[in-house]
Amino acid sequence: MNTPKIKRRVGKYEVGRTIGEGTFAKVKFARNSETGEPVALKILDKDKVLKHKMAEQIKREVATMKLIKHPNVVRLDEVMGSKTKIYIVLEFVTGGELFDKIVNHGRMREDEARKYFQQLINAVDYCHSRGVYHRDLKPENLLLDASGNLKVSDFGLSALSQQVQADGLLHTACGTPNYVAPEVLQDHGYDGATADLWSCGVILFVLLAGYLPFDDSNVINLYKKISCADYTCPAWLSFSVRKLITRILDPNPMTRITISEILEDEWFKKNYRPPVFNEKEDTNLDDVEAVFKDSEEHHVTEKTEEQPVAMNAFELISMSKGLNLGNLFDEEFKRETRFTSKCPANEIINKIEQAAKPLGFDVRKKNYKMRLENVKAGRKGNLNVATEVFQVAPSLHMVEVRKAKGDTLEFHKFYKNLSTSLEDVVWKTEDDMQAK
């Protein structure tokens, strides 16, 4: 069997696995072939952008994001366009999501939570000062770099279809309901800055309590709780942080605490270090202009091959928790997990399909990727699972199984059932055999 060539290339970037997806975009791991640097490649569909009349909004957001160089915001390097796609090249952040720390270690002590909250407020304050509002601050958008510093991702790119209307307010209710401000849910228009602050307050509560302040399986009840700020602070919180949370989670946006007031708060100020960074770097916006003028001479070249993506050692290491590749194939997982197999790629795909159908899933296949969708709606709509087969060596494949949509607990349950059916496909080492 020949070692397959890289499956896809966009300009100078070698494109690998999908690491996230949303309504308007997909994010893929990629590598700059000239420097070897890893990046995250956000891919937008031009047709969708035009259909939703988002081109001007995206152009403005992307141009602003290129100018934002802040240590607590994911960096935007460049923008490229092809006939059908817009490619946004972002900094690849390796430390995982902040909230994985809570999943794995439980709630944080106040000193640790304060450090992350200070970095979050620094990022939000800086972007607001440049007219950029996040509008969808939630756990998935808070990443950590290799040094453990907070990086807010998707700033200004998360709610691309939103427009400020003539009254100067935003009018699209969006975001994850548990983190959304009451005025956003009420649909009378809202101020992006005060709405972002409410979400920061919910995040601070979760860091300190280990659970959400507003939660209810019934959406109407959840909205009622949010609208009148119906929550209870846990007894172990200090008086000063309770006071701060109460001032942030104020259901009236007119009396809610502002960022300048947070910066003066006694709890917040403890051990506070303002961010140090160089803002004076020259930033070129020619690529943004070229992409949105859509001139063919500026189109980036795309190359595709119909084989499993070959995964190089660098990518393997970037996916593991360190240089120990044993970590790659462990059983601890959140919204995604991986296993290795010595079976041929086609056989793996067929076995997954045979295992998923009796569990009530529709299966769509494209090359070495599959999308499994549960016919029955669960707690958060229909569970969607994306799988992809990568080639690690001529006779070894790695399979990634990722939750694309739906409830994480339902995904865990699905994976447990799936792995039972795939026991003969998963490659087991001698240690695994002895452990049984």
pLDDT in tens, 371-413: 899 888 776 678 888 888 887 776 778 888 888 887 777 887 8
Here the tokens at position 286 are 């020619």
Using 50, 70 and 90 to split pLDDT, how confident is the model at 329? very low
Spatial separation of the C-alpha atoms in residues 345 and 399, rounded to whole Å? 9
Q: Evaluate if residue 130 carries a pLDDT over 70.
A: yes
Which is more confidently placed, 285 or 265? Answer: 265
The 8 Å CB, 24+ separation contacts for 364-369 are 367/306, 367/307, 368/307, 368/308, 368/309
DSSP string for residues in 158-217: TTTT--B-TTS-B----S-GGG--HHHHHTS-B-HHHHHHHHHHHHHHHHHHSS-SS--S
Would the CA dihedral through 248, 253, 259, 261 be positive or negative?
negative
Q: Is 151 annotated as a binding residue?
A: no
* Residues marked as catalytic: 136
Closest to 317 measured CA to CA, from 89, 92, 100, 141: 92
Closest to 374 measured CA to CA, from 357, 350, 352: 357
Spatial separation of the C-alpha atoms in residues 72 and 64, rounded to whole Å? 16
Q: pLDDT by residue (tens digit) across 230-276?
A: 999 999 999 999 999 999 999 999 999 999 999 999 999 999 998 88
- Following CA atoms 290, 293, 294, 300 in sequence, which dihedral angle do they give, to the nearest 10 degrees? 0
Q: Evaluate if residue 224 carries a pLDDT over 80.
A: yes
Domains belonging to the chain, first-starting first, are 8-92 (3.30.200.20), 98-269 (1.10.510.10), 309-424 (3.30.310.80)
pLDDT at 166: 44
| Mean pLDDT lowest among 11-25, 103-117, 159-173, 199-213 | 159-173
Q: Evaluate if residue 152 carries a pLDDT over 90.
A: yes
How many beta carbons lie within 10 A of that of residue 290, not counting itself?
17
Angle CA 378–381–47, to nearest 5: 155
Q: Evaluate if residue 6 carries a pLDDT over 50.
A: no
Pairing relationship of beta strands 309-310 and 381-393 according to DSSP bridges: parallel
pLDDT at 73: 93
Spatial separation of the C-alpha atoms in residues 99 and 285, rounded to whole Å? 34
Q: Evaluate if residue 424 carries a pLDDT over 90.
A: no
Angle CA 422–423–426, to nearest 5: 85
Closest to 12 measured CA to CA, from 32, 30, 27, 29: 32
pTM: 0.66
**How does the average pLDDT of the chain come out, rounded?**
79
Residue 259: which residues within 8 A CB-CB, separation 6 or more?
121, 124, 125, 128, 193, 197
Q: Evaluate if residue 432 carries a pLDDT over 80.
A: no
DSSP string for residues in 316-366: HHHHSSSS-GGGGG-S--SSEEEEEE-S-HHHHHHHHHHHHGGGTEEEEEE
pLDDT at 246: 97
pLDDT at 2: 43
Here the tokens at position 249 are 């989670």
